[in-house]
């Protein structure tokens, strides 16, 4: 009997390129799917490519790969084409999956009902019916099955019109829910620039509920309107339904009814405080962000667009240690790991879509909860329920505003200061990472100017730093700083350091602000400036270097901070290293050395005081010293490190840390707190491998 032939694989002979980021699946997984079906994945669009799988966002820009595919008349399909090929183990017809650009002009929208309250308007620059046509897994901007593949020989005047429209009214990034399978739909944006998209969340720790509800008013390319709904437990796909018969009135009626049923609020009142026992509305940012970017580099060896032939990405001009620092600070894997470690649900509300308003609402929810933890009588007077029920209710509200993913585990009630501080850390990290995310945004136009700058150079430039200079390991400056790091470790920390780099840094404008800050008064006659440590997660440093060290906002609960809201510093390096969470960033942490104007005398405390900041101000003082049991025994002039530090004090590490003999000291180690950001000047940044924590 002759040997049986191996069956031909469904995509045998195909050569497929990928372009963009896709919901719920990354390019590495897609490449495995491509290989598993017998096709060859390509890193660039070459003349022998058979398909390009692109995200709608990248298609609409278009990116270099999309431009190349159009020139070569290569089919450009949504990712659902490949996923359906996998599920059916057969090659699917490309036609229903072809991507098409959003229409230049759409028929006028039927008027939306007049809102009685405030509307959440899209930015003024947004097109009245602006949409990028995104449809998650099914590529909502796909052409109808009977449509011909779009050619690139569009009339020149149309191109000009599109360019002009784009400049005047940039398209918002309003993705259709990724589980909606209806083709050729987009989220409706009415003539008042109101985005008809509602993300709702509800947490109930007692019932082990952590649920979402999504409502979208969808508009088809044929002018029909429907209301899409999907609901279930956070982290799962849940159930879904498409409501309505196709008319605008019907879709509006269903949208408004469903929103009121689930939230207890009218759509136009969605920004009001959530109703007890109902879903909370989670505001999203719809401006295009780096979550929508592909991060594609030019297609080396592939066909490029006309502009790409003239301009190539330049080499990185940064010193290698600085380049490595940028790669660490802007590492997306570390962002994801940080959010996962803090139980934030980035699938529900990606960092790029998280609004500052939502973070502020989260802080306010924690502030209300903190007040209740401090004064249990508020349960009866403010919330008209028992104390345990009030705590759980406010905890549920916080989780509803700031989506968390606990899997099938019961959401823990924020019932004590330990849990409260962890949630404060989450919101502070989200705020810093949000700033870093903005710095990573790539110009949608990918202009010649941007294309001539290496992405890492651009990230560095966006930080706006005056100086980031790696120190020579053999210099006296490096040696002095290394001694300060290694000689100020606490016995209770058991930390081991391996210094990778030390950078001398200067933020633009910070020196002038620092020098203009005077910490003198009848009570504090001397500046008492010291060189002190500050530690934070590497994912926070895009925000820290770009915006400077910041003090918690008014909405944050004061009880989350041992000595009030301020910037916390230490004279023991291991005290600050404990805040670096280096396990998230593969054992590497970042530590700052800051020049801090403290004032002399300091307000000295041995026990926590949430009112320390107000108390210091009332006494004419500018900083607090939380006194510890162990500290450096002597100080010296920091000109030993650099001449510019003359007059600044730093520990004299020729003698090891010793007992302070402070009576009733409640801390192991000293903490210094300043209450004005202008009292701080960033001086050095340490990149350190950390072990022992």
| pLDDT, average across residues 252-261 | 97
Q: What is the DSSP string of 594-611?
A: EEEE--BSPEEESS--TT
Percent of the chain with pLDDT over 70: 82
Q: What is the pLDDT of residue 526?
A: 64
> Which of 108-117, 140-149, 177-186, 502-511 is predicted least confidently?
140-149
Residue 248: pLDDT over 70: yes
The CA–CA distances, whole Å, from 321 to 324, 334, 501, 581 equal 5, 19, 7, 21
| pLDDT, average across residues 339-358 | 85
Between CA 516 and CA 523 the distance in angstroms is 19
Domain boundaries defined on the chain: 15-97, 136-281, 331-439, 464-691
Residue 671 among the catalytic residues: yes
Q: pLDDT band for 646, please (50, 70, 90 cuts).
A: very high
* 76-77, strands of its sheet edge to edge: 40-42, 15-19, 51-54, 76-77
Mean pLDDT score across all residues of the chain: 83
Q: What is the pLDDT of residue 446?
A: 43
| pLDDT, average across residues 193-207 | 91
**Domain 331-439 annotated CATH 3.40.50.1820:** no
- Which residue is catalytic, options 268, 392, 437, 671? 671
Residue 120: pLDDT over 60: no
Q: What is the pLDDT of residue 92?
A: 87
Between CA 619 and CA 294 the distance in angstroms is 54
CATH class of the region 15-97: alpha beta
CATH class of the region 464-691: alpha beta
Q: What is the pLDDT of residue 143?
A: 34
Residue 108: pLDDT over 80: no
> Which of 22-36, 53-67, 132-146 is predicted least confidently?
132-146
Q: What is the pLDDT of residue 9?
A: 86
> Which of 63-72, 285-294, 470-479 is predicted least confidently?
285-294
Mean pLDDT highest for which of 28-32, 104-108, 130-134? Answer: 28-32
CA dihedral 528, 531, 532, 534 (to 10 degrees): 120
Sign of CA dihedral 524, 528, 531, 532: negative
pTM over 0.75: no
CB-based contact 436:542 (threshold 8 Å): yes
């Amino acid at each position: 009997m002759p040997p049986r032939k191996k069956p031909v694989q469904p995509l045998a002979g195909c050569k497929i390129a990928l372009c963009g980021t896709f919901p719920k699946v990354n390019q590495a997984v897609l490449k495995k799917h491509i290989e598993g079906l017998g096709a060859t994945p390509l890193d660039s669009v070459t003349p022998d490519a058979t398909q390009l799988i692109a995200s709608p966002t990248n298609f609409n820009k278009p990116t270099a790969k999309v431009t190349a595919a159009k020139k070569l008349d290569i089919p450009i399909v949504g990712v659902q084409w490949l996923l359906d090929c996998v599920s059916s183990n057969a090659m699917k017809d490309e036609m229903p999956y072809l991507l098409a650009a959003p229409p230049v002009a759409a028929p006028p929208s039927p008027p939306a009902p007049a809102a009685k309250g405030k509307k959440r308007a899209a930015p003024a620059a947004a097109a009245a019916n602006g949409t990028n046509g995104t449809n998650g897994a099914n590529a909502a901007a796909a052409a109808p099955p009977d449509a011909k593949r779009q050619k690139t020989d569009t009339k020149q005047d149309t191109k000009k019109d599109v360019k002009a429209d784009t400049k005047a009214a940039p398209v918002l990034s309003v993705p259709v829910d990724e589980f909606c399978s209806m083709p050729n739909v987009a989220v409706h944006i009415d003539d008042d620039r109101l985005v008809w998209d509602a993300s709702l969340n509800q947490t109930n720790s007692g019932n082990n509920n952590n649920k979402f509800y999504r409502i979208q008013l969808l508009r088809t390319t044929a002018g029909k309107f429907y209301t899409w709904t999907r609901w279930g437990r956070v982290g799962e796909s849940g159930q879904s339904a498409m409501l309505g018969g196709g008319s605008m009135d019907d879709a509006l009626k269903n949208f408004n009814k469903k929103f009121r049923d689930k939230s207890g609020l009218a759509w136009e009142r969605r920004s009001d405080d959530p109703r007890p026992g109902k879903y909370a509305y989670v505001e999203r940012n719809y401006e295009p962000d780096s979550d929508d970017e592909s991060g594609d580099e030019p297609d080396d060896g592939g066909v490029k667009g006309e502009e790409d032939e003239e301009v190539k990405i330049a080499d990185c001009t940064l010193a290698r240690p600085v380049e490595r620092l940028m790669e660490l600070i802007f590492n997306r894997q570390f962002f994801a790991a940080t959010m996962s470690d803090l139980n934030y649900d980035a699938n529900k509300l990606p960092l790029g879509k998280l609004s500052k308003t939502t973070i502020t609402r989260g802080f306010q929810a924690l502030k209300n909860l903190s007040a209740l933890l401090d004064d249990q009588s508020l349960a009866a007077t403010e919330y008209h329920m028992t104390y345990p029920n009030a705590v759980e209710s406010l905890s549920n509200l916080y989780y509803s505003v700031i989506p968390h993913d606990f899997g099938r585990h019961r959401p823990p009630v924020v019932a004590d200061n330990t849990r409260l501080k962890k949630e404060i850390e989450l919101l502070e990290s989200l705020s810093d990472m949000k700033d870093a995310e903005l710095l990573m945004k790539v110009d949608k136009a990918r202009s010649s100017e941007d294309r001539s700058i290496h992405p890492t150079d651009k990230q560095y430039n966006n930080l706006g730093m005056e100086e980031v200079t790696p120190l020579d390991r053999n210099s006296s400056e490096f040696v002095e700083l290394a001694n300060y790091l290694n000689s100020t470790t606490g016995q209770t920390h058991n930390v081991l350091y391996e210094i990778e780099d030390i950078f001398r840094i200067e933020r633009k404008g910070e020196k002038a602000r620092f020098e203009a800050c005077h910490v003198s008064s009848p009570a504090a006659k001397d500046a008492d400036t010291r060189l002190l440590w500050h530690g934070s997660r590497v994912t926070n440093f895009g925000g820290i270097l770009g915006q400077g060290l910041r003090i918690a906002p008014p909405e944050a609960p004061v009880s989350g901070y041992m000595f009030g809201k301020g910037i916390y510093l230490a004279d023991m390096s291991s005290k600050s290293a404990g805040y670096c969470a280096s396990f998230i960033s593969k054992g590497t942490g970042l530590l700052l050395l800051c020049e801090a104007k403290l004032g002399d005398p300091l307000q000295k405390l041995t026990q926590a005081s949430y009112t320390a900041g107000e108390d210091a101000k009332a006494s004419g003082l500018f900083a607090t010293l939380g006194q510890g049991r162990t500290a450096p025994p002597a100080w010296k002039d920091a000109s030993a490190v650099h001449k510019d530090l003359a007059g600044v004090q730093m520990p004299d590490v020729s003698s090891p840390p010793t007992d302070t003999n402070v009576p009733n000291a409640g801390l192991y180690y000293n903490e210094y707190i300043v209450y004005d950001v202008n009292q701080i000047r960033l001086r050095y940044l340490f990149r350190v491998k950390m072990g022992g924590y």
